[in-house]
């Protein structure tokens, strides 16, 4: 069995962020985020091992840009060999009442009209589907899918290890630091795509595959449960509260045990791969995310 290694999170300042992550992550590195709103906590890097998933926590206080990510082939075409696309997925940990996301084309909108909006014929925001989200929702965001997170969300995100993002619209915040990418976005976006809602996090104790598509594989281990699960090398495990639980008081929660590593709530560890023991307390969930191979690993209790 391979031991896990704790990951010290790195806080990143974003104009759309808030103050939650500073409080939740007491051991975070803050090299470029000592001031200003914190939008992201990174568990890993965007330029690390290509087999290692990148996991983030997102505190969405203001709306993110409308954006799209390239697939692997387009990333290599536009940015050179060795580049990867960006498939990402979200688990909604907290959501304000009525919180929404923009995700793909509104089914009532013709794909040709959306393609024309990408060329600048009209505003694109009204043409996207508005999806009401709740704690526990699992959202798949493959390359080519236009999307934007909106205010009032705390999100666990897994992605390929790249920060390649093409902004389509930014709610009037365009600047030298936040440029739009109209040419690249037109190449990356698929106007025909209509997003599909996935099943939410299960509430039955045990290990459950919640996403196995494209580049990503995610298992949710719902407590109370202990057993052994398999993981790809480079997987990241994060201990989060069950959506049915009130956010734990910092320092009072029970830890999850993962491959010899003790993880308090909102902490993460990098896994070495292979079978490893886990123990998740009641009220907790261990999200284990990895980059997918043709034969994703299974689980066993």
Active site residues: 167
- Locus of tokens 């914190």: 38
Q: What's the rounded Cα separation, in Å, for the pair 22 and 266?
A: 12
Q: Are strands 138-141 and 88-95 parallel, antiparallel or unpaired?
A: antiparallel
Which residues, listed in sequence order, are joined to residue 245 by a DSSP beta bridge?
none
E strand or H helix at 290, and its extent? strand 284-291
Tokens describing residue 80 = 């050179």
156, two tokens: 């666990």
Angle, CA of 61, 63 and 68, to the nearest 5°: 135
C-alpha 15 chain-centroid distance: 18
Question: Which has the closest alpha carbon to 298: 237, 231, 206?
Answer: 231
Strand 100-105 and strand 128-132: pairing?
Answer: antiparallel
Query: Residue holding tokens 């995700």?
Result: 103
Tokens 């790249």 locate to 162
């Amino acid at each position: 069995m391979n031991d896990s290694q704790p990951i010290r999170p790195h806080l990143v300042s974003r104009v759309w962020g808030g103050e939650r992550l500073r409080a939740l992550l007491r051991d975070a590195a803050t090299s470029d985020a000592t001031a200003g709103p914190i939008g992201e906590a990174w568990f890993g890097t965007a330029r690390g091992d290509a087999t290692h998933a990148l996991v983030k926590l997102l505190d969405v206080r203001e709306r993110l840009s409308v954006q799209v990510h390239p697939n692997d082939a387009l990333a290599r075409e536009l940015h050179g060999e060795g580049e990867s696309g960006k498939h990402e997925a979200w688990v909604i940990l907290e959501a304000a009442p009525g919180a929404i996301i923009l995700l793909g084309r509104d089914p009532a909108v013709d794909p040709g009209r959306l393609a024309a909006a990408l060329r600048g014929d009209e505003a694109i925001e009204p043409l996207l589907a508005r999806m009401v989200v709740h704690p526990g929702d699992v959202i798949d965001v493959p390359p080519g899918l236009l999307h934007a997170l909106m205010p009032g969300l705390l999100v666990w995100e897994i992605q390929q290890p790249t920060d390649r993002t093409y902004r389509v619209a930014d709610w009037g915040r365009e600047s030298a630091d936040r440029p739009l990418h109209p040419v690249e976005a037109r190449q990356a976006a698929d106007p025909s795509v209509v997003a599909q809602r996935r099943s939410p996090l299960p509430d039955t104790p045990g290990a459950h595959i919640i996403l196995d598509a494209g580049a990503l594989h995610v298992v949710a281990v719902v407590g109370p449960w202990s057993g052994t699960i398999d993981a790809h090398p480079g997987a990241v495990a994060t201990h989060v509260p069950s959506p049915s639980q009130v956010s734990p008081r910092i320092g009072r929660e029970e830890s999850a045990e993962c491959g010899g590593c003790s993880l308090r709530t909102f902490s993460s560890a990098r896994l070495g791969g292979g079978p490893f023991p886990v123990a998740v307390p009641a009220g907790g969930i261990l999200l284990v995310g990895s980059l997918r191979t043709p034969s994703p690993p299974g689980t066993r209790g």
